[in-house]
Amino acid sequence: MNAMTPTKNPTPPNHIGNNRGGNGWGDHHEDQYESASPLGKRIGLWIFMGVASILFSSLISAYVVRMGLSDWHPLPEPWWLWANTATLILASVFLQWSLNSAKQGNLTVTKNGIMLGGLFGALFIVGQVWAWLQFINLGYFVETNPANTFFYLMTALHGAHLLGGLVAWIRTQRTVQRNESATKVVLGVEMCTVYWHFLLVVWLVLFGLMLLT
Amino acid sequence: MAIGIALILLVVGTLAFHFWSPWTYSELASNWGQIDSMLSLTFVVSAIVFVVINLFVAVCVIRFRYDKDRKADFDPENKKMEWILIGITTVGVIMLLAPGLFVYSEFVNPPEEAHVVEVVGQQFAWSFRFPGEDGVLGLSDMRFVNIISNPFGIDPDDPAGHDDILVQQEELHLPIGQPVKTQMRSKDVLHNFYVPNFRVKMDLVPGLVTSLWFTPTKTGTFDIACAEYCGNGHHTMGGKVVVEDQASFENWLAQFPVFKSEDSQVEVSIEEIGSRIAQSACLSCHSIDGSPSVGPTWLGLYGKQETLSDGSTVSVDDDYLRESIVDPNAKIVQGYAGGMSAFANLSDDELNALIRYIETLSE
Amino acid sequence: MAKAEHVEAEQHHDDHDDHHEPQGIWQKYIFSQDHKIIAIQYTLTAIFVGLIGLGLSGVMRLQLGFPGDFGITDAFYFQAITMHGMIMVVYLLTALLLGGFGNYLIPLMLGARDMAFPYLNMLSYWFYFVSVVVLLASFFVPGGPTGAGWTLYPPQSILPNTPGADGLGIVLMIGSLAIFIVAATMGGLNYVVTVLQLRAKGMTLMRMPLSIWGIFTASILALLAFPALFVGAVMMMFDNLLGTSFFMPAIVDAAGNLVSASPDKPAYSGGSPLLFQHLFWYFGHPEVYIVALPAFGVISDVLATHARKTIFGYHMMVWAILAIGVISFVVWAHHMFVSGMNPYFGFFFASTTLVIAIPTAIKVYNWIFTLWRGNIRLNTPMLWCIGFISTFLIGGLTGLWLGNVIVDIPLSDTYFVIAHFHLVMGVSAVFAIFAGLYHWFPKVTGRHLNKIMSRTHFWVTFVGVYVVFLPMHYLGFEGMPRRYPSYGEDFNFPASATDLNAFITIAAIIMGIVQFVFIFNMAWSAFKGKKAEGNPWESTTLEWQTPDTPPVHGNWGPSLPVVHRWAYDYSVPGANKDYLTQDTAPSATAPRSDRHLDDHGTHNNGHED
């Protein structure tokens, strides 16, 4: 019923919700039916986060079971993990700032926010790799102790999800930078932001688990 | 139509097969008659359901087959009947579950007076340990394992282990009428201690001690079969349990060495040392009677010409045998999969003893 | 495209225009985003890999029936059982039922033009394709595929003396599973969102055909269960390649040395083999229902159509599907009654397992009451349905044996278990697949299958499965353990059991060969079969009401269908024919019959009367 939203680039109605433009990623063809509504996309994202939650819960259960066995020596908790955590929190804050601005129609702030958010996200990944190198330098190899193994495994799986988030961020970012109307990018920014918030929560849970044990 | 008749024939055929085929439960030789009762109860319940439902479908298919002048009933649901059926099913399930759990609670609670025997699994052989006079098994750990001096990995500092009796063979004897609790552990992979006639079985898990209990009630010899896949020789991992009276059992047990006594070995021949090494490390995969196993047989091996997997031949001498023990996958005999562990930790003397022992099998 | 501008955008895309037909063979048939093409790709790939699984079962049967006579080494036997199990459970059944049937039926049965995320759908297929390639590649690496058993239990699966563990076999297996899980997640996400979002006007949840309910619930189970396997697979990869000790306790080799992943790694110590089993079966048991629920759904729909009767107790059927889905997550350790886990778990898991028998029994009752006073057309799909009821019945009943912990203890790891899971999960699921393939083939290809070949295929297979699997229960009573390539003189199994094994082998091979009749029938009929009309079985559901057969890209022509009734209006009193399609508007000669579904508060968006 909200038929004709005025657009500069009219897309045929049978392609609603299909935000194309040669973004180079996912080479869609004009002749496909992309039928997910904004709600459908949100549901899709939530389902994916549900799946990822199950993945990390399985990992955490395995962690708790394995921790109970005799040969467990926890890792130290150096400052650089705290610094990384702060970086990831900043990424989330900037993305949220961007989303709020997009909702208010402030395109400039949206652009800046999403840019900063993504950069801090990328910085977190770099920071995690650096943390790995530090631990290896200190002699905490992956096979030395199950606690080490879990640290590497958890950060690696979390990192893989972050890389996915980064790809999503690159896509959203391009659309945002190219676009001239903040309202049109709300959905994209929102999905990106929600996913990064999710990754932050996962990290806080994993990091908290490692701190507590 | 044909499918209806086929279903009726299926029911008749299944019942006929059940009553006239020679295959049935192996003879019960333990106290677990209750398990057999549970099997029978479950069998009767499921057989009745199987017969009734198949015949019901057969009747439907025959009676209500297509007729273009007839219309099917319109009958989308009948809540009352559905609830009644749920009720009946629930009662049936409880009828099976309640006695089942009752018997299971006996299975998980071994009697106090049960005597203990340890069952140790390794690829692809069984060995057994009795606790000796103190009735307590010594602690064990894989770090203590040495195939010559301590094949069971018993902790030498635990005094409880000093009088443990080591039965390093695949035949276990048990006294009749006495409940026995088997404590089980594995040196490598998962195994499963299964004697069909005793009904009970349990996995052997490396890193854990598992257990089960039973009371042998019949004298005789019964098969042990490994029931959890354990690698290339899984199906060769057999053994025997001999159930006999108390006196014969004690006689049998008296012939086996006690753990600590192995330290003070009397002088034995070099071939005898080789034979002991073979017993604890080799004979689970190599036979000495010419029968095929996971690896080539040792009977007549020394001095013969062996064809390798690349087609070349090699003469079996000291050098070849030494290489095949220390670096076994360098030359694989044709027809075998390889994959033997490298026995690089044997000293030169031990290697020599083993080769001399193999040589005796060609004489 | 000019036409598009004045079309109302009320529904997502009421406009369909032949210009949208993808151009070029590459986009049309290879990297297609059309759910129907993807469904066919999934189906054909799954059937192909299934034939390899069938061939491997032939290898096993030859060795078991005639030990040593065919030059099959023990190692190859173990590799065959491993690959057979994994291929059949994951790469055939899961892929075909969700990827094949799910993809084809969800949009068509719900009146949508395509999946919610067509691009993701295409990726899902290609990930699946890559996972199959990686899996099959293990046949060609040095050492061959892994022979650890399909359950991949450590420590066995990563020790170098296991077949295939020396080379890349186990790595490829784990890697392939991980890729498959990614594919299944993409697919599952798509199926769930599509069912929630893209139902045609009037298609309330309680009007959906049971096939969709089954596939929908199974997709949710897949999304919830596969991550555990993924974690297990990654952890096993760590233990295998990096020498960590998640699942590896301290163990010694035959020489008495502590084992490590490689000479430069520390020895394994402290890990828990049971932890892997828990992760595996936390996935593995829902996996049974990931296969079974779509099969239940397909059987319900095919049964009602050919019996010309409403499915009996639709409500209860839906609730049963949901109940089974939920309970399936708390029964996994019934696979581990003799694993050495804490024996007190047995009480809990035996109880939950037998509870799941109740909703399952309801489904069986409702199928047979659907037949009662029906007007049964014994077409080939119907024969498979009846065969399914019979095989599922016996497989389900033996589930009562193995779920009840004390009865499981003597039978676990014997041929009884083999008979049970082949009948309940293998044969029954395959029967449902055949019922579905025979049922929907005329819609997919626009042609009928050859009747003589179809009947030959059914009868030989139906008799075959009983001849093969029924005696196996009795071998289990004898105590014959599974995963033995031969039963040597060490064991006192009766000589007649060996003869029985030879007999089973011959029956199995005949049955295996007949499957090629089916393959030939499909291939031949797809091009040369008798032409089929749009709705040859006179079915009510939407997929039979497409304007074109086979349906073209976009499925529905210019306007989407509108749904006025539930999926089972067969033989409605007062109607002028014995079926009313879901898009038939209510009228004097087409009364509505699904009012009994209205009182139940699913959000009803069909206010047509």
CB burial of C214-252 (b: ≥16 within 10 Å; e: otherwise) equals: bbbbbbbbbbbbbbbbbbbbbbbbbbbbbbbbbbbbbbb
- Whether residue C275 and residue A66 make contact (CB cut-off 8 A), yes or no, is yes
Which chain C residues are Cβ-neighbours of A42 within 8 angstroms? none
Under a CB-based contact definition with an 8 Å cutoff, are residues C454 and C438 in contact?
yes
Please tell me which residue, B326 or C363, carries the higher pLDDT value: C363
- Chain A segment 63-82 residues within 8 A of C by beta carbon are 65-66, 69-71
- Tell if the CB–CB gap between C343 and B108 is shorter than 8 Å: yes
Q: Does B273 touch chain C (CB under 8 A)?
A: no
Domain harbouring C456, CATH code = 1.20.210.10
Domains: count for chain C: 1
Residue A205 lies in a domain: yes
Query: Tell me, what's the pLDDT at B263?
Result: 52
How many Cβ pairs within 8 Å bridge chains A and C? 168
| Any domain includes A36 | no
Mean pLDDT computed over C175-200 = 94
Burial of A25 (C-beta count, 10 Å sphere; 0-12/13-18/19+): exposed
How many Å lie between the alpha carbon of C231 and the closest alpha carbon of chain A?
6
Q: What are the beta bridge partners of residue C538?
A: none
The residue of chain C nearest to residue A153, with distances taken between CA atoms, is: C235
A31, part of any domain: no
Residue C100 domain-assigned (yes or no): yes
Highest mean pLDDT among B158-172, C149-163, C218-232: C218-232
Q: Which helix (H) or strand (E) holds B127?
A: strand B125-130
Contacts of B93 in chain C (CB under 8 A): 354-355, 357-358, 400
Q: Does C12 contact chain A (CB < 8 Å)?
A: yes
Q: Closest partner residue to C470 among B17, B22, B186, by Cβ? A: B17
Domain borders along chain B are: 2-107, 115-261, 267-360
- Amino acid C53: pLDDT: 96
Residue C438: pLDDT over 80: yes
Residue C17 to residue C13: CA distance in whole angstroms: 10
What's A112's domain CATH number?
1.20.120.80
Contacts of C226 in chain A (CB under 8 A): 51
Of the candidate ranges B279-288, C442-451, C459-468, the one whose mean pLDDT is the lowest: B279-288
- C467 domain-assigned: yes
Domain count, chain A: 1
Fold exhibited by the domain B267-360: Cytochrome Bc1 Complex; Chain D, domain 2 (1.10.760)
pLDDT for C260-284, tens place per residue? 888 888 899 888 999 999 999 999 9
- Choose the closest CB to C156 out of B49, B192, B231: B231
Inter-axis angle of helices B2-20 and B33-63, to 10 degrees? 160
Of B143, B201, B225, the CB nearest to C491: B225
In a domain, A131, yes or no: yes
The answer as to whether C47 is a domain residue is yes
As a three-state string, the secondary structure of C85-125 is HHHHHHHHHHHHHHHHHHHHHHHHHHCCCCCCCHHHHHHHH
Residue A178 belongs to some domain of the structure: yes
Bridge partners of B223? Answer: B240
Given a contact cutoff of 8 angstroms between Cβ atoms, the answer to whether B185 and B209 are in contact is yes
Q: Render pLDDT for B159-183 as a digit per residue (tens, 0 to 9).
A: 888 889 999 888 999 999 999 999 9
Q: How confident is the model at residue C309, as a pLDDT?
A: 94
Structural class in CATH, domain B115-261: mainly beta
Is B42 in the C-facing interface, judged by CB distances under 8 Å?
yes
pLDDT band at B266 (very low <50, low <70, confident <90, very high): low
Domain contains A63:
no
Distance from CA of A27 to the nearest CA of C (A): 9
- Token pair belonging to C312: 């009996």
What residues in chain A have per-residue pLDDT under 50? 1-31
Higher pLDDT, C8 or B221: B221
- In percent, the amount of chain B with pLDDT more than 70 equals 98
The number of C-alpha atoms within 13 Å of A188 and in the hemisphere containing its C-beta is 25
Cβ–Cβ below 8 Å for A62 and C271: no
| pLDDT for the residue numbered B39 | 95
Give domain status of residue C404, yes or no. Answer: yes
pLDDT digits (tens, 9 = 90+) for C72-110: 888 899 999 999 999 999 999 999 999 999 999 999 999
Q: Which long-range contacts (CB under 8 A, 24 or more apart) does B290-294 make?
A: B293/B233, B293/B236, B294/B124, B294/B232, B294/B233, B294/B236, B294/B336, B294/B337, B294/C74
> Could you tell me which chain A residue has the CA closest to the CA of C275?
A62
**Domain assignment of residue C220, yes or no:** yes
* Chain A, window 12-51: residues with a beta carbon less than 8 angstroms from a chain C beta carbon: 12-17, 26, 28-37, 39-40, 43-44, 47-48, 50-51
B90 inside 8 A of chain C by CB: yes
- pLDDT per residue over B93-111, tens digit each? 999 999 999 999 999 999 9
Q: Residue A100 is part of which domain span?
A: 94-213
Task: Name the residue among C75, C361, C594, C138 with its Cα closest to residue B85.
Answer: C361
Which of the four pLDDT bands, split at 50, 70 and 90, describes residue C305?
very high
B4-44 residue pLDDT tens: 999 999 999 999 999 998 888 989 999 999 999 999 999 99
C307 in any annotated domain: yes
Region of poorest pLDDT, from B292-296, C339-343, C555-559: B292-296
Q: What is the pLDDT, as a whole number, of residue C5?
A: 37
User: Which range of residues forms the domain containing residue C550?
Assistant: 35-597
Residue of C nearest to B170 (CA): C490
Helices C169-197 + C103-110 axis angle, to 10: 0
Token pair belonging to B217: 């009630």
CB-based contact C366 B14, cutoff 8 Å: no
